[in-house]
Each structure stands twice: as C-alpha cells, then as structure tokens.
Chain A
Amino acid sequence: MAEIVLDNVVKRYPDGALAVDNFNLEIADGEFIILVGPSGCGKSTTLNMVAGLEDITQGELRIDGQVVNDKAPKDRDIAMVFQSYALYPHMTVGENMGFPLKLAKVDKSTIQKKVHEAAEMLELTQHLDRKPSNLSGGQRQRVAMGRAIVRQPKAFLMDEPLSNLDAKLRVQMRTQVSRIQKTLGTTTLYVTHDQTEAMTLGDRVVVMRGGIVQQIGSPQHLYDHPANLFVAGFIGSPSMNFVPGRLEGDGIVSALGEARLPDRIRQALERGNGSRDVILGVRPEDFEDARINGDKPGGRFSAPIDVVESMGSDLYAYFTLRGDVASSAELDDLAKDTGNDLHTDGTAMTARLDPTARIRQGDNVELWYNTDKLHIFDAESGRNLVGGDSQSAANAGTGR
C-alpha cells in the first residue's frame, strides 16, 4: 500500500500536443481516486504515466516518497486492470491470476494458495481451469481483477474496467469493485468516462477536460459545488439545466422568469466582481410542480410540457424554453461527449418532479424552482460565481 503523489506532471507529445498539463494530486494511502472526463481529456494518459507505460515529460511521480519517473512498470509494484481485460488467451484462469506471482518467483504452493483466495473472493473457484475464451464478459472482468489482487500490489490502476460490460452487470460489478477495494484497502486510481461510476465509487473524484484538471473533490462536493460549467454539466444525471440570464438588482432575469436571489447568493455575487451576464444552472430535482409547493419561496414560470416519463418514484418532465441558448466552449464539449449536439431552437430542459404531480404531455404547467439551490456561472469564463470552491474548500479538502 502506498501514497502516490503527482507533482506538476506534464505530458506532451513530440508534435507539441498537450495531453496532460500540470497535474497535481496527492493520493493518500488506501484512497479510491476516480479520474473522469470525456474521451481525450488525458485521464488514460495520466493513468499510463503512473503505470509506467508512458513516460512523464515533466514533473515528478512519487510512490511512497520515492521518485519513480524512470522506473520500469515491473519495478513500481503496481497492478493494472485493462479495459479489454488483456487476459492471456493461452493460459487458464488460474494461470492468468498466478502469472504475476510466477514472474516474481513465488513458490508454487504459495501461488496456489493466493490464487485460490482471490478466486474465492471473486467467485471464480469453479472456473480456475478454464481458458478466458470460455468465460462470459463478467467472468473475464473478474479474472482481470483477480490477477491484480493476487500479488497484493502497492496500488491498483483501473482503466475503464467496466465499460465493456452490459448495463446491468456494470452496476453489479461496480458494487463488487467498491467492496473489494474497501476490504483490501489498497490505494486505487480508477479511470472512467461514466459520471455514475465516478459518483458511486470514489472517495475523491478528479474531473479532467482537455488535459487540465477542472476540479478535485468528493462526489457530493462536486455535485453541490461544481467549480465551473463543465463540472456542473458533467456530474449528475440527468444533467444540470443551463439557461442564460442577467443579474438585475436583487434578482435574476432569464427564460425562467424573474426571481429574487436569496441573501447567501447575493452576498457571494457581491464578493466576486463578475459581470452581469451569467448562466443559470438548475438541477432537475430543484424543479417542482408549483401547485405542490404552494407559496414556498422560489422562482416560478410556466412552460408547455413536451414529454412526461413516470418512473414510479419520480416523474420526469421534459420541456423546451424558447429564447437564447446558453453557449460556452465547455457546454459544447459536453454536448459532443454525449453525442447530443443537435441544435434545436431553444433549450431542452429536464425536471424531476414529485410523482404526485399531475402533469400531462402538452399541458402548459406552472413550475417552481428552488432559488436557494441555484448555480450561477460567469457567462464569459464559466466559473461558478456562487457555490464554487472558494467557499467550501475546507469541506472538500477533507476528502476522505
């Protein structure tokens, strides 16, 4: 087990392309860290640099205080789980799992013992003599995990280990990964593009975009206090709704009507000297049917509902706001990542409502939104003007 420190780590390619810029992170012993971001954001490159599969252009990588920039992967004592699992097709499950130990010249009986322990933990005991090609996707994934576990390395590196599984299995394996990591207490660096995995697995989450770290913090902190538009849009599903707006006096004017801002937010805005043009962020669950919430303080507006989805516990209402669309490079990036780059006139919005809301498709409904939970971003820089980290650094820093 180990403490891993990335100190101003930079990765540049010979053509000048910047893959990872000034990456700083201290991973505590036993911590579960998630690197998340859209494809091409540099998260896998970062992982490969820690693994030793790619060299570090500048900066230092320290494991337990020792600089390992120039050490070969085999001398770093780190295990890795690959997206494709990279199981050796000519070896049985048992041989696959025992391979690292065999390379380390561990005696046979110890290898057997350790492989069996790991197999038991992963429920692979009855498959030990089979070849990987005869296993299901989920079983292969577990073998890959087993191969990492048996050698009791200082740290696990996982490169999108669940992305080749179907949705149901992925959820199952997610909890299993989490359980194994908690049981073994091994420092883990986990790469994914799936924000749900990031939210559910990590002690702390590192959000990356274009090789630059956007924010580091606990999942809840990222959810409540996103540092900028990108993090706000990336974390959370369904994602946050964005509407362009203008600060006017004590309130804010946008397609969501005019609303008075609560004192907390106003004070925060006064501290920052941001411009008056902003982007409003509202999480789907911060909407409610205005009839249910009565005269609770908050904003009100009405909109024609396009589609209603009843999920039993919740009710999702989709509607479109006419008028200007919030635009920024960060939001464009997000749209590209989700493949949702259709440009319609108007902003597609999602509201998660109480199931008792009596709303039907086509209705023109009055909706309420919680101004206390509003996120306000600078339209220019995308920075969070209110709930950002300046206020809650202490809270996030505890991480674990």
Chain B
Amino acid sequence: MSTQADLSRPAGGGHDADEEAVAIARKRASEGKKAEAKLGMMLCAPAALVMVAVMAYPIAYAFWLSLFRADLRTPDQNEFVGLSNYVTVLSSPIWWTAFGVTAFITVVSVILELVLGMLLAIVMHRTIIGRGLVRTSALVPYAIVTVVAAFSWRFAWSQDLGWLAGSSAPLTDRWSSIAIIILAEVWKTVPFMALLLMAGLALVPEDLHKAAAMDGGSAWQRFWMITVPLVMPSILVAVLFRTLDAFRVFDNIFVLTSGANETSSVSMVAYNNLIRGLNLGIGSTMSVLIFITIAIIAVVFTKLFGAAAPGSDEGGRR
C-alpha cells in the first residue's frame, strides 16, 4: 500500500492499455466537441440568419438593380443596361464632387477627433478632481441623437437666430458649411473616440511611467515613447471605425445644408437619387460604389496597419 515508486514499470501498464485509454478519451472528447459545436451553431443561427437576410440578400439585389435602368418615374422604360449606370456615375461631376467632399470631411474630422479624443482621454484618465463628473459629461454628446445635435448647430449658425452666427450666414457658403459639418461630426464623436483611447491608456501600467520618468524621460517623451506605442492597437481600432463611420456621413449634412452649395456627401447624393429622384438604377449604382469604397478602406487599413478589428481574435491581446 505504501510503495508505488517503481519507475521501471512502463507507464499505463502496457501498450494496449495506453491505446485503449487514448481511444476512450478521444471518443468522449469528440462527443463533447460535437455537442458543443451543435449548441454553438444553434445559438448563433438566429443572429446569423437575420444578418444574412437583411444584409446579404439586399446588397445582392442592389447590385442587380445597378445593372438596370430602373427609374420609378418611367417604369415602362426599365431595361437591362449592363455597366452603363457605372459609366454614368463615374463620369458624373456630381459624384466626384460628393466623393471629394466626403473624403475631405472624413480625413479632417478623423484627424481632429484623434487629437481631441486623445486629449480628452488623457484628461479623463488623469484628472485629479471630478473624474466621475468629467467622464459622465463626456458621454453627453455620445448620447444625443445626431439629428438633434445637428439642429442645435444649424440654429446656432443661422443668421440672426443663432448665438454663433450674428449677422453672418455661414451655412450659405460652401467652405464654411463644410467646416460646420466637420464641427458637428467632431463634437459628437470625440467622446466616443476618447473612451476607446482611455481604455487603451488604462492598460498602460503606471509603473512604466514612473520607470520612464526615473530613466530621465520628459513628459512629452514619455507620451510618445511609452504611451503612444502601447495605446497603438486602441488607436488603430478607433481610427478604422471612425473612418468608416465618417465616410457614411449623412444625418449632419441632411440637417445642416441638405447638400446645398455642393456640400453633399456620397450617401447624400445616393439618397437624393433613390428617394427624392426615385432613380433606383443610378442610386443602387452609387450604393454599390460606396460599399466597395468602404470595403477597400477596411481592407487597406487592416493590411497596412494590421489593425485588429474588435472581436476578431479570441480574448488574446488583452
């Protein structure tokens, strides 16, 4: 009963027994795995089904529509036109103007959001008084409906009515309108950006700052050499998502200018063709082009910077 230390004994008491045990373990594990896989797929099926039904089918349908002349005002002239809608759109100055405006708004607002968001994140992370208050109030712009905020800015910049406008009418001029659109976009999304970055900041150990300070780093050096590299994954994710989001800009432009003075974004132009103009062929073509552009941005971004999208890896990279 007391001695079992005979190490010369072959492990598992013989070769056959080993194989048998492995076989038993394998069988049980594969049964467990099968049950788990089945449960997993069953639980995901409804969500997947909804997403496929509402996304995949319609996008295919949009592509189909984009190959037709489909104008609801002249329903009897609808016919298959191949890629000619794409030719029409891609040679249209309206499309390219809108594309330029959208790109401009996207680039400028994402840069501003990144800078201001980082500042706000540092404030929320480091402030020694009223941290709860600061974090809470920073959530306000996030919580406000975009259209509401857009109206607030529109009224503020309306001639006579607005406290910011006075007797000027900035929303009647192209570049000042675009500036206000950017302002509205930036105001609303800086807090969101800041929250994402703050979560990244929280992952930078305080000791690292202390160590760097002991090693003689100035605050500025510490920010660039310690904080930024460590927060980089958060930054990339935040920038990717905001870029894709900004490229879809619609609500603010709709309320602020309705696209007047050549301030339409691509979404705005597509909307005008689809709903106001009822030209489904051209509208769908634009939809497909926007979809392709977004996909290109996403792919390029992930390839260039290796930005991992949220949830794309399982629990690693914490």
Contacts and interface: CB of A to CB of B under 8 A. Distances in A.
B16 to A, nearest CB: 12
A13 B25 contact: yes
A12 interface: yes
A14 B4 CA distance: 26
A58 B17 contact: yes
B28 A55 contact: yes
Interface stretch (B6-14, B44-52, B282-290): B6-14
A363 B30 CA distance: 65
Contacts of A381: 7-8
Contacts of A307: none
Contact of B5 (A13, A14, A57, A231): A231
Of B11, B22, B25, most buried by chain A (CB within 10 Å of CB) is B25
Contacts of A89: none
Contacts of A221: 2
A389 B3 contact: yes
A325 to B, nearest CB: 21
Nearest to B21: A12
A217 B11 CA distance: 22
Contact of B30 (A12, A14, A24, A58): A14
Nearest to A222: B2
Given A10-B12, A58-B17, A212-B11, A24 B4 contact: yes
A215 interface: yes
A227 B22 contact: no
B12 A22 contact: yes
Interface in A301-337: none
Nearest to A390: B3
Interface in B75-114: none
A397 B3 CA distance: 9
B207 interface: no
Contact of B24 (A57, A382, A396): A57
Given A12-B22, A381-B7, A382-B7, A18 B2 contact: no
Contacts of A14: 22, 25-26, 28-30
Interface size class of B (residues with CB under 8 A): 20 to 34
* Interface residue range, chain A: 20 to 34
B20 interface: yes
A21 interface: yes
A214 B21 CA distance: 22
Contact of A58 (B4, B8, B21): B21
Contacts of B7: 212, 228, 381-383
Interface in A176-233: 211-217, 221, 227-228, 231
B21 A216 contact: no
A213 B12 CA distance: 12
B30 A214 contact: no
Contacts of A211: 11
B2 A217 contact: yes
B304 interface: no
A272 interface: no
Contacts of A393: 1-3
A26 interface: yes
B11 A214 contact: no
Given A14-B26, A18-B11, A21-B12, A57 B2 contact: no
Q: Which 6 A-B pairs have the closest CB atoms?
A: A227-B5, A389-B3, A396-B2, A14-B29, A12-B21, A12-B25
Given A18-B18, A388-B5, 12 more contacts: A12-B21, A18-B12, A21-B12, A26-B1, A57-B21, A215-B2, A215-B4, A217-B2, A228-B5, A383-B7, A397-B1, A397-B2
21 contacts: A14-B28, A14-B29, A18-B18, A21-B11, A22-B13, A24-B4, A26-B1, A55-B28, A58-B21, A213-B4, A213-B5, A214-B4, A215-B5, A228-B7, A381-B7, A388-B3, A388-B5, A389-B3, A389-B5, A396-B3, A397-B1
Interface of A: 10, 12-14, 16, 18, 21-22, 24, 26, 55, 57-58, 211-217, 221, 227-228, 231, 381-383, 388-390, 393, 396-397, 399
